[in-house]
A and B are shown apart, each in its own frame.
Chain A
Amino acid sequence: MLARGLAKHFRDVRAVDGVDFAVAPNECVGFLGPNGAGKTTLMRLIYSALRKTAGELSVFGLTPMQQRKQINAGVGVVFQENNLDEDLNAAECLLIHALYCGLSFRTARRRAAELLEWMALSPKARSTIRTLSGGMVRRLMIARALLHSPRLLILDEPTTGLDPQVRHTIWAALRELKRQGMTILLTTHYMEEAQQLSDRVLIMDRGRIILSGPPNELIGQHLERYVLQASGLTEVPAATDGIRHERAGDADCFYSNAEPLLQALYDRLPTRSAVLRHANLEDVFLKFTGRGLHE
């Protein structure tokens, strides 16, 4: 997949504002960004659910919209919001979607049963969609996206609003799919999710890609190794050499490559609501997209 100067404008809103990226086969790429950064719009451009305003995009070497059928035959999409067919039960949902995807009745039934089993939903096969929990709905959506064995799986915030058990189950499933050779595009604003699954992350803000690279490299390149995070400090300790201090609202962050320095600082802090940890993707994300609200 290749995008060059790709843009999508809605009247005066530049949802996607000239992005360049490439995705290799069997790569898992995470698109990170605050709400409204243009992640969903970008995904919709990829599976031809929107017309681009400008730029170039090719998927499997084909052109979206013009070669929608050929592209989408190899694409599975897990949508952000539940759009399962509420007039059907879980098994029927998969069966009908499999027919849409072009499977024969026989293959459709077999795949539906296999994927329900894989997603631990077999006991719910006859349940209507309304009676399923949020986690079940999301697992069913993932099963639905896999019916036709797509080469490319697009997941738009696959675990937003789910409990940790379901999240970890879904992550395990996605890692298994990647092992089996699938290319995965993932949008999320959970940094942990991006760090767990992605070979590479693209950080988006206001329709642009502002940073890209493997999660650990990004952290290493742009931040010190350790962070001491504290809130509600009435008095900020005097700065020490080797420690960088940032303040936002009532929160203070101290960055350093030397853990002992921060440990010493931690011991001197009057508050116990402080955490000393490794710098993570969220720190990078906040550094580049800012701490203010974006909407």
Chain B
Amino acid sequence: MNESSVPPGELCAPLPLRTGRCWSLFGVWYRHVRVYRKTLLANATPPVLESLYFFAAVAIGLGSYLLKTGFDGLPYVTYVASGVLAGSAMMCAVFETTYGTFVRLVYQRSYDAMLGTHLRISEMFVGEMLFCATKGAVFSTIVLLITTLCGARPTIWCLLVPLIGFVTGYLWAAVGLVVTSYVKTINNFSFFTTGIITPVFYFSGTFFPVRGHYAWLDVVAMLVPLTPSIELSRALFKASFTPVTGIALVLLLGYTALFHWLALRRMTARVLR
């Protein structure tokens, strides 16, 4: 113990503290950015590659044989690109707040440590969801750039893609937190990922139009929380906005608000035991 390094009295001298919401959220967000940056290549490569495999196999591979016309007035490559970029925002966010959050909650007990600070419980989790939203924005932008290089044709409206990725990331981070709040052992997540996330990824209009077959299916499809994101992303690629686009926007924001509220409520109960 080297006590000379700190002058007597200095250890306990009062320090100015920033206890405002913005700085608290920034602290939590920055923690995740810092950790993520360390393992950037290992963390970011699989989800980006995964989306691109789908894109290559389905849009470029299968699509070039079977689908000369595309859907929704878009060439098929562009159609799939617009869907996959929203899907990748969902994937990266939902994995962070399921497996990642569970490890911090149960194994690393990080939230216990945070409870010892002035951070509000809401700030702990909103900061985390904002990080996922940031990831969603970055991932969807990366997918946009690469698919464009591979032949998708964006419009100027596609500059708004990061925004859709951001909100989609936030929404699915919240969904992940709600699920995590119920989970007892980490293996339970496989029910959620294969039972919910995978079908959502495939059947929200990512690769083919779900709507237009049956009326009831239209309603169901629109209610799946990823569909509004894909609908909006597609509107950007088409540069055409219809009443359905408006409904999608309202649904996306509505779902985000709902799951934000649920996630905080559930996680508060879980953390305070």
Contact = CB atoms under 8 A, between A and B. Distances in A.
Interface string B1-43: 1110110111111111111000110111011001100100000
A68 B120 contact: yes
Contacts of B26: 99
B115 A117 contact: no
Nearest to A107: B15
A83 B1 contact: no
B104 to A, nearest CB: 8
A72 B113 CA distance: 12
A85 B31 contact: yes
A247 interface: no
B272 interface: yes
A50 B8 CA distance: 35
Contacts of B195: none
Interface string A105-127: 00100010011011110000000
Given A49-B272, A73-B19, A83-B110, A97 B117 contact: yes
A83 B109 contact: yes
Contacts of A87: 35, 38, 108
B18 A182 contact: no
B60 to A, nearest CB: 37
Contacts of B108: 83, 85-87
B118 A102 contact: yes
B114 interface: yes
B72 interface: no
Contacts of A100: 24, 27-28, 31, 114, 117, 119
B115 A49 contact: yes
A107 B18 CA distance: 11
Contacts of A176: 3, 11
A167 B19 CA distance: 34
Range class of the A interface residue count:
35 or more
A148 B272 CA distance: 23
A146 interface: yes
B273 interface: yes
Nearest to B31: A96
Nearest to A92: B34
A85 B272 CA distance: 19
Contacts of B18: 102-104
Given A96-B31, A100-B27, A114-B6, A149 B14 contact: yes
A263 interface: no
A87 B6 CA distance: 28
A99 B30 contact: yes
Given A83-B110, A92-B34, A107-B16, A72 B6 contact: no
B116 interface: yes
A148 B117 CA distance: 10
A210 interface: no
Contacts of A154: 116
Nearest to A98: B27
A28 interface: no
A102 B19 contact: yes
Given A87-B35, A96-B27, A118-B1, A47 B11 contact: no
Contacts of A182: 12
A180 B12 contact: yes
A148 B17 contact: yes
21 contacts: A49-B112, A51-B272, A72-B119, A79-B109, A85-B108, A87-B38, A88-B31, A96-B30, A99-B23, A99-B30, A99-B31, A101-B117, A101-B118, A102-B18, A118-B11, A119-B1, A148-B17, A149-B11, A149-B15, A177-B11, A177-B12
Given A49-B116, A97-B113, A180-B11, 17 more contacts: A51-B272, A72-B116, A75-B116, A76-B116, A83-B112, A85-B31, A87-B35, A99-B31, A101-B17, A102-B23, A104-B16, A104-B18, A114-B5, A118-B1, A120-B1, A120-B2, A149-B12
